Each structure stands twice: as structure tokens, then as C-alpha cells.
Structure 1
Amino acid sequence: MKKIYSILFLFSFMACTDLDLEPKNGLVESVAFENFDGYKSYIAKVYASLTLTGQQGAAGQPDLTIINDEGFSSYLRVWWKAQELTTDEAIIAWNDSGIRDLHNHSWGADNQFVRVLYYRIFFTISLANDFIRAAENLPSGLTDTEIATIDEYIAEARFIRAFSYWHALDHFRNIALITSITSELPSQVEPQVIFDFIESELEDIDSELLPAGQANHAYGRLDQAAAWMLKAKLYLNSEVYTGTSRYADCITEVNKVINSGVYSLAPNYQELFMGDNHVRTDEIIWPIVHDGLVSQTWGGTTTIIRGGIGGAMSDDERSGAPFADEAEKTFGVPSGWAGYRTTSALVNLFPGAATDPDGNSPDGRGIFFTEGQSLEIADVGEFTDGWAVPKFNNIEASTGRRAPGVDQVSTDYPVFRLAEAYLMLAESELRESGAISATTLGYLNDLRIRAYGDNSGNVTLTDVDLDWILDERGRELYLEATRRTDLIRFARFSGGDYIWPWKGGVDVGMASPTHLDIFPIPSSDLIANPNLKQNDDY
């Protein structure tokens, strides 16, 4: 069993401008932080806020009380939806209020999924702020080792705050910078201010974080390589965020990861997304950890896995023959929720997949389920319209059996992988100098050799341009919460330069307004804080 979170504090949160967080379980601070265990429990809560939703199992005593279904408030769940359901990679059959607005590119300032993303981000920022404050004045009696460990926790809290601010910058752009617990209403700052804050924080904590490599410390904890990757992501998108390109700096950061000697590509692509992927520390740089027994959530990878299973995937038949407990045996969960599928735009990135009855391609990264599914989507509300994409599952690669859990899963979510470092390096070199190096070409072909099983899919220097990079990112990173950000960086998200099925709410797709490249500030926060101004054209 993976070591997972022990959670001490109970918080509720209503709005990003309501920043007075107080324990709701009767503990006073002098008791909560009288020894080392209090700080350990609190930093666990900061980590847990990235996927768990409350204090009582999968549901109960929620962190956020602004939505009826607590599972909707999972950080990973709402971030993933914002990054995937707005793109060509995923479309969903559910009809919850506002959810189809994401794929239709018709959301507004009252959309509940946009609102929850915003508040979840700032809830996590507030937790990190409060942990940093609580760790400023340590009680007497702590050992030198305990004090040193709390210093590491402070660096990790600062990373999580920077990570959340990166999401706030990426999704909402014009936001407030809040670095302490206060009841004063904050004001918005320019995106450059947020960018500079994230960059400065990551530079400051570099020497305080654990050494690179999940195998070198307690699994799931943040380390230097995670900070390098986050800085690289920040620099890769700098021109979008601030108008100034920083591709040379992105190259510097990803080369720290690549040249660290810690990472290598996992031999098998699918195993990176299975129920025992916690052993894939060769490639996974930092995961959001899940355990179906002791860290239960209706969000996180539970939603990603169960939300993508339906139709013949769980009808207890296989190719027309009886096959009991099909969903459990094949995907490691008791049943599916018949939610998201993909569009033909993603399928078409994989050579030959669209014309193969089973969706097979020489590029083995395309993991599709086609039985009973039509490639084209006539009815968004019908799960069998559109191919299913069970890239993530809850089966252990090492045993072939279901990973621990009953209704929830144990598959970790890989936030950063070495494969993406290779792709960021190639893109940054192209944007900086117009060509990639022979060394970088070798890294790209390493990805292709893993995908094809041999060198038949290898590319040459002349094959690799920016269009190819965007497509290769789709093939390698689909369903990994990168697609919206990627399409915006390549000017393919809004507008009419790239159309995919059901973009704009019509089956053939249509252009959408450019102001949708960022989400609106929720109306509820504008009402609560008159210092805030809505993003343009909302």
C-alpha cells in the first residue's frame, strides 16, 4: 500500500476573497502544532487538496460548499475537465448544468465548473499560505531533524502554492496575488506579476527541496525535478502569459531534468497509467498520489477511469461471449459512468486507427475501445457515439489484478513525465532557433521506438516542425491535462484555424471567440470583491 495522507484540519471555504481559514474541529493552534506530527498532518492536507474533496472518506465534510456534488470539487477533476473537455480530446455525455458548455465553448461567468476550478485553486493557495504562516514560529522541543523536515515541508508548500498560481495564471490570467492569510479584499495584478512570483518562488526553494527522483525519497513528495518541470512549463507558455518569449530558459530547465541522470523512459507506455504506476519512477517525475483504500475520492483518477467506461466495456460480454465482471477484470473498477469519449480528431493522429475495426495503429500509444462505439458523434449525450479511450485503468501491470480499492482507484496521476521534457525541449529549440539538435531528435525517436516497438516510426530532422510537435504532444500526452494549454500556445484553441467535431456546439465544429482563451472570473467573486474586474468580453 502506498503511504498516503493523514489529515488533521477541517476547513470550509466559500470564496477566494474569504481568506480567514480557521479549524472547524475544535482544535486550537497551540494544541494542533504542539509537536512535529501536527506539521506533518497539515502538509499532508496541503498535498491532499490537489485531489481529495473533504474530511470524511470519498464524501463528507467538504472543503468547498459551493456545489451540491462534492466529487465535482476535486482539484484534479475540475482541472482535468477544463483542460480536456474544452478540446478535441474529450467530449462528455453527462448533462449536469454547464458541463457541455465546456466542449461547446459557450461557458460564462456563472458556469459552475469554471467557478469550482477557480475556488479550488484559491483554496489550495490559502492552505499553503496558512501552513507557511504556521511553520514560521516552531514550538520548543523539536529535534534538529524535525526542524529540518519542517523546512522541507515549507518548500513543498511554496511549490504547491506556485503550482496553483500557475493554474490560476493559465486559466484566468488576471488574478489577485495573495501570499498571506488576511481578511482584506485583494486586488488584481498584471499577469507579469504572477509570472514573476512563480518564477521567484521556484528559484528560492530549489535548494530546499528534496533531490530529484521519486526513488530517492518518500514517494509522492515534491523534489527539485518537479520545480524544474514547472519552471519549464511556465517558460514554454511565457509568450502567451506575458507577451515575452522565454524558450531559452525552458531549454535550460528541461535539460536539468534530462541530464540529471535520474530518469529514463519506462519500457511500456500503458503501464505508466495503470494501478501500480507508483513503481514507474524511472519516468514519472511527480505524481498526484491516489490509494483506493485510504485516500478515497470521487474525483481524481477515479473520475478519469470510471468516467470513461460505458457501453460494451462493462456489459459482461467480450466479443459476444459471456465474460463476467468485465469492467473489474479489464479496467479494475466495479462499473463505469458512461461519460467521456474522444473525437475523431484525436483518433486521426494515430496512423491507420480510424480504419481499423479495433482502432489499432502501428503507434501503440493509441488506446481505444471501439466495440459498439461509432467513430463519429451524432449525439453528444450517447456514450456509444465516439470511441472510448481507456488510457488510464486500475489494473496492476505486475499482477494483472485489480489494484486496491472498492469504488475508488489506486492509479496515480503523473503530473510531469520525462517524455514531456523531451517534447518541451524540441518545441523550445524550434521556436528559439528554427531547428532541433541531433540529440533532441534522438530523444523524440526514443518516444517513437517505444510507441512503435521498433524504428519504423522514426522521424528525421526535416520531419519535425511545430505542427508535428503539436500532433506528437497529442499522441504522447492525450488525457494528461495539457491539451487546452497546448492548443492556445499554438493558436489553435479558439478561432477557426483548427476545427474539431462539436467545437462550438455543432457536429462539424465551428470557430469560437478568442476571448475564450481564458476563463471568466466567477460572478460570485466579482460580487464578493469589488476590487476585481472581469476578463474582457465576458
Structure 2
Amino acid sequence: MLKTLKPFFILFISAGFFWACEDDLDLQPEDNRLTAETTFEDPESYKQFLAKLYAGLAVSGQEGPAGDPDLIGLDEGFSQYLRLYWSMQELTTDEAVIGWNDGTIQDLHGQNWTAGNEFIRTMYSRIMYQVALTNEFLRQSTPELLESRGLAAEERENIARYRAEARFLRALHYYHALDLFGNVPFVTEEDPVGAFLPQQIQRPELFDYVESELLAIESEIVSANSNEYGRADQAAVWMLLSKLYLNAEVYTGEGHYTEALDYSERVINANYSLADDYQKLFLADNNSNGAQSEVIFPITFDGQQTQSYGGMAFIIHASIGGDMDPEAFGVSSGWAGLRTTSALVDKFPDGADSEDNRALFFTEGQTKEIEDISSFNDGYAITKFKNVTVDGEQGSDDTGEFPDTDFPMFRLADAYLMYAEAHLRGGGGSQAAALGYVNELRERADAGQIGSSDLNLDLILSERARELYWEAHRRTDLIRFNQFTENGVWPWKGNVPQGTTTQSYRNLMPIPASDLGVNTNLEQNPGY
């Protein structure tokens, strides 16, 4: 589905996106002769448009790997959605540092960013861009328009399902906005097309909106575990609801742990199963090697069809340097950037020598502690993601530049841990079930079983680090456990080797100064 697409719809998208009011975004129609009437006469155009909505998570523009970007103002590799989101979630925490000095990138793990940080600004712009695309898809696919265009009943039924998937994707983007920025400009397909200044929605109201959208499409989207691989279904909706409810106390001040447990249990009962080998989840054939039984919603990559210098190319290439052999990871070169801190290493008994098979560290020629952020040899490297198959074969791109490895945004193991956490936070459920789910993960990891007395929230946070590190969950987890700013210390936090606490207002990212300067309806988040 995610093929290289001719952007026939940019005419409508650019018209609907002017409200973003970013000076560094310059979206123009490719062909002014295109109209909705001529473009959407073809039923296949709706699926192509939907493919673009999904592709926005994996690629950065209309040509791979670069050349016709969605956003102007930051290099296409840096401005790709997953790469930005991963950086927000990982570089700001104890799990990752980066040795490069590109712009203000090191301010992320230093936790001293400002409203002018270009990576934060572009994450914000990328979210708003994806929302704008989705809004336009929904405007162009109403039942009334489909009927007026003469589409057959079967085609209209298919497009109705596409609309549910599009609404899921918009809810996902607004969830990311809710989590990262809190109070953002808010636009739906009901708003006018053209230049206007959108109103700012407050975090609790945005929570309500995301919840209402997900509940509305729960019965409209295809049933759990039955859509094409890489597309959202009912289980993906349940997974996002679980995450929304688990973090509700952060977002609204009111806990929703009963609902978090309920929806995580629905995912658990939706006929998914754990992969038999943890490493399979992060290989080039993770869409077919058995790992797909655990993955509920991936961001899909293909070395030939979805080429980008962001996404999995970034995560894999930038994790390789020093004495590491790029060929062992199925790529042509290492970019010598990403490592982890000793805080993650110490989560595993015996550190890098742990019998826990999730401890995927490269230590040869590396020091555990980081004295110089810019030196790749300072800090252990992570070997979790690879562009090789279970048989050791390189992915489909002969150059070794662009991986086939899919990114598991939602997977069953996370649902197990959310169930256990929601139970411990008073959401009901069964202690025996919660313990059983945690022990299933530990058994797969050869990490040893725990007893009921060991099951507490501290263990859950550590278990989430061991199971889900480098999968873009850590910042959200630390905030939920009140350990991201004032109560958490790790190496190079606050831009000092020993680490320090930072101000609690950094639990929210700033609204970019460039948007504040244009949209008078926006107010900055406190502290910035």
C-alpha cells in the first residue's frame, strides 16, 4: 500500500494547510488544473490518498529518499515523522544520547531546549501537517460527496472503512500533540479551507476529543487482527485508548485506570501472541518472520519503496560506529551518533553481561560512562534494530542504505505491561493475571520469574525500560511516573556528566515561537 505516490492531492492539501502559519512551511500545488471533481472520480484515488496518510509516518516527501519534501525548513532526514518523534521520546531521557552537533539537537538530552528549538518546532509542524492531510481526506470522502460522484455502493463501503482508518491516524497525531505539547491549535474537517488562525484547544479538551474519536470509530473500523499488515484495525484503536487512559491523570488530572485496564485486556484477548524470540521483532523480516503475531500497529518500511534518511534508516545507521561492523546490521555504513547511558545498562542485572536477552548492547571499544558526548566510543551502543533477516540476509535495498525493518509502534508486550500497571494503580483486574503477563515477558527474555510480592510500580517502570527501550515510549513513561524532570537524574541530563534534575515545566514541550509570532490565538505553555 505504501508505494511512491504521485501527489495528485497536494492541490487540496496546500489549500487546507495555510492555517498552520509557519514561515518555514511552503506548500504549493503541483498542478493547478487538478480539482476534487476530476481527481476523486476514480475510486482508487481514495486508497492512494489513505496510503499517503500512512506514508507520512515513514517518509518525508513525495520522492524517496529526498527531493520533494512535505515541509520546508529542515533537512528531510531530520524532518521525518518517526525520526522526530523518536528523538522527542528517547533523546530527552536516560535511554539515548546523540554525539552530533547539528543545530540544537543536543539540547534534547540536555533538557535545556527553548521555544526556538528547530527539532521541536518541526515535530509540531509535522503533526499539524498530518492532521491537515487527514482533514482534507475526510472532507473529500463524505457519504454525500461519494454519492454525488456516482461511486458504487461497494466502493462507498470501502471508503467508509478508509475514513475510520483516517480518523484513527488523526487521533494518533492529536494524541502525540496532546502528549508532547498539551495545548495546540485545533482544526478538523468541519473548519473552513483557507487562511485563518485556529483556536487553541486546552489539554483536557483535547483528551476528550481524542477519546471521542476513538470510541466513535471503534465499531466502524475493521475488526481486530483482520486488516492488511501495516494498517490500523480495532486492536490499534484499543491500544491507543489504553495509552490515552493510562496517561489520563497527566493529561487531565483525573485517572482512568479502569478503562486503561479494560482496553489493554481487549487487545490481549484479540488473538495476538508474543513472538518466540525477542530479536525477531526488530529485524528486516519482522513483517513475516513470526514477529508480526505480536505487532499491533507498525510503521512500515521498505528498502526500495519507502526510502528516507529518517525513520529506521536513522535508528539503525546512527547506532553504528566505533568497532561495530555495519555489514552485521545489514547496512552500508554507520553514522556514529546514537548510544545509551549507563542508566539503561544498569536496569539489567549484570548490565551488558546480563542473561536477560533483551540486553542488546555493543561494548567492545566502548566505555559504559560518557565523558564526551561527541565521542561515539563514550557510552554503550545499542544493537536492537537490524536490517538483516533471521537468516542473516541483508534487506532488499542492495546499497544497504535503506532498511526493510518495520518500527513496532504498538505491540502486545506493551499491552501486557499496561494491564499490570493499570491493575497496580487501582484499575481492577487480577493480580494473578498481571503477574502472569509480566512473567511471560521475562520468561521469553530468560530473565527469571518474579513473585507476587515483587510486582510493584517501580518494577513496572524498570520492566518497561527493559522490554521497550528505543521504541519511543520512555519520555511518556517517565512523566507518568513523575521521574522525568524534578525527580529523575541520569547522565548528561541538564547537560552535565553526572546529571541533574530539571524544571517540571519541561514535562510539556513549548509551542514553537514561530507559530506564536503569527497566531494571536495561541498562548505559550508555562515556563517558556
Aligned to 1:50: 57
Q: Size of the alignment, in residue pairs?
A: 510
- Deviations 1:501-521 (CA, angstroms, capped at 9, x unpaired): 000000000111111100000
The reply on whether 1:221 has 2:224 as its aligned counterpart is no
Instruction: Sort the Cα spacing of 1:351 and 1:239 in 2 relative to 1 into closer, same or farther, 3 A.
Output: same
User: More displaced, 460-469 or 139-148?
Assistant: 139-148
Instruction: Give 1:218 deviation, angstroms.
Output: 1.6
Aligned to 2:274: 265
Aligned to 1:143: 152
For residues 329-408 of structure 1, the aligned pairs below 5 Å read 330-353=328-351, 359-397=352-390, 399-405=391-397, 406=399, 407-408=401-402
For residues 195-234 of structure 1, the aligned pairs below 5 Å read 195-213=207-225, 216-234=226-244
Aligned to 1:522: 512
* In structure 1, C-alpha distance between the alignment counterparts of 2:250 and 2:472, rounded to whole Å: 18
* In structure 2, C-alpha distance between the alignment counterparts of 1:147 and 1:21, rounded to whole Å: 30
- Deviations 1:321-344 (CA, angstroms, capped at 9, x unpaired): xxxxxx12x101100110110000
* In structure 1, C-alpha distance between the alignment counterparts of 2:481 and 2:149, rounded to whole Å: 54
The AA in structure 2 aligned to 1:447 is: L
Q: Is the 8 A contact 1:3 1:219 kept in 2?
A: no
Q: Is the 8 A contact 1:15 1:119 kept in 2?
A: no
For residues 496-507 of structure 1, the aligned pairs below 5 Å read 497-507=487-497
* In structure 2, C-alpha distance between the alignment counterparts of 1:516 and 1:91, rounded to whole Å: 18
* In structure 1, C-alpha distance between the alignment counterparts of 2:28 and 2:159, rounded to whole Å: 21
Aligned-partner SS, 1:515: helix
* In structure 2, C-alpha distance between the alignment counterparts of 1:459 and 1:434, rounded to whole Å: 21
For residues 201-350 of structure 1, the aligned pairs below 5 Å read 201-213=213-225, 216-260=226-270, 262-279=271-288, 280-314=291-325, 327-328=326-327, 330-350=328-348
Structure-2-length-normalised TM-score: 0.94
Aligned to 2:132: 126
Q: Is the 8 A contact 2:18 2:194 kept in 1?
A: no
How many percent of aligned residue pairs carry the same amino acid? 49
* In structure 2, C-alpha distance between the alignment counterparts of 1:537 and 1:156, rounded to whole Å: 37
Aligned to 1:322: none
Instruction: Sort the Cα spacing of 1:20 and 1:188 in 2 relative to 1 into closer, same or farther, 3 A.
Output: farther
- Deviations 1:399-436 (CA, angstroms, capped at 9, x unpaired): 32001123111100111010000000000100116995
RMSD of equivalent CA atoms: 1.8
* In structure 2, C-alpha distance between the alignment counterparts of 1:220 and 1:17, rounded to whole Å: 32
The AA in structure 1 aligned to 2:255 is: S
Q: Is the 8 A contact 1:14 1:66 kept in 2?
A: no
Structure 2 unaligned segments of length 5 or more: list them: none
Q: Is the 8 A contact 1:121 1:168 kept in 2?
A: yes
Aligned-partner SS, 2:78: helix
Instruction: Give 1:140 deviation, angstroms.
Output: 3.4
Aligned-partner SS, 1:251: helix
Aligned match of 2:82 in 70, 73, 76? 76
- Deviations 1:131-188 (CA, angstroms, capped at 9, x unpaired): 0001121253423222111111111111111000000010000112210344221121
The AA in structure 2 aligned to 1:41 is: Q
* In structure 1, C-alpha distance between the alignment counterparts of 2:320 and 2:43, rounded to whole Å: 43
The reply on whether 1:191 has 2:177 as its aligned counterpart is no
Aligned-partner SS, 1:414: strand
- Deviations 1:422-459 (CA, angstroms, capped at 9, x unpaired): 0000001001169951122111111010000xxx6101
Instruction: Sort the Cα spacing of 1:200 and 1:385 in 2 relative to 1 into closer, same or farther, 3 A.
Output: same
The reply on whether 1:178 has 2:171 as its aligned counterpart is no
Aligned to 2:464: 473
Instruction: Sort the Cα spacing of 1:436 and 1:87 in 2 relative to 1 into closer, same or farther, 3 A.
Output: farther
User: More displaced, 34-43 or 467-476?
Assistant: 34-43
Instruction: Sort the Cα spacing of 1:125 and 1:58 in 2 relative to 1 into closer, same or farther, 3 A.
Output: same
- Deviations 1:101-158 (CA, angstroms, capped at 9, x unpaired): 0000110000000000000000000000000001121253423222111111111111
Aligned to 2:104: 98
The reply on whether 1:441 has 2:435 as its aligned counterpart is yes
Aligned to 1:531: 521
Aligned to 1:319: none
Aligned-partner SS, 2:77: helix
- Deviations 1:231-260 (CA, angstroms, capped at 9, x unpaired): 000000000000000000001101111122
* In structure 2, C-alpha distance between the alignment counterparts of 1:240 and 1:17, rounded to whole Å: 29
The AA in structure 2 aligned to 1:257 is: V
The AA in structure 2 aligned to 1:71 is: G
* In structure 2, C-alpha distance between the alignment counterparts of 1:75 and 1:209, rounded to whole Å: 24
Aligned-partner SS, 1:210: coil
Structure 1 unaligned segments of length 5 or more: list them: 315-326, 354-358
Instruction: Sort the Cα spacing of 1:3 and 1:400 in 2 relative to 1 into closer, same or farther, 3 A.
Output: farther
Aligned to 1:317: none
- Deviations 1:31-76 (CA, angstroms, capped at 9, x unpaired): 2211112111111111111121111111011100022x11111110
The AA in structure 2 aligned to 1:402 is: Q
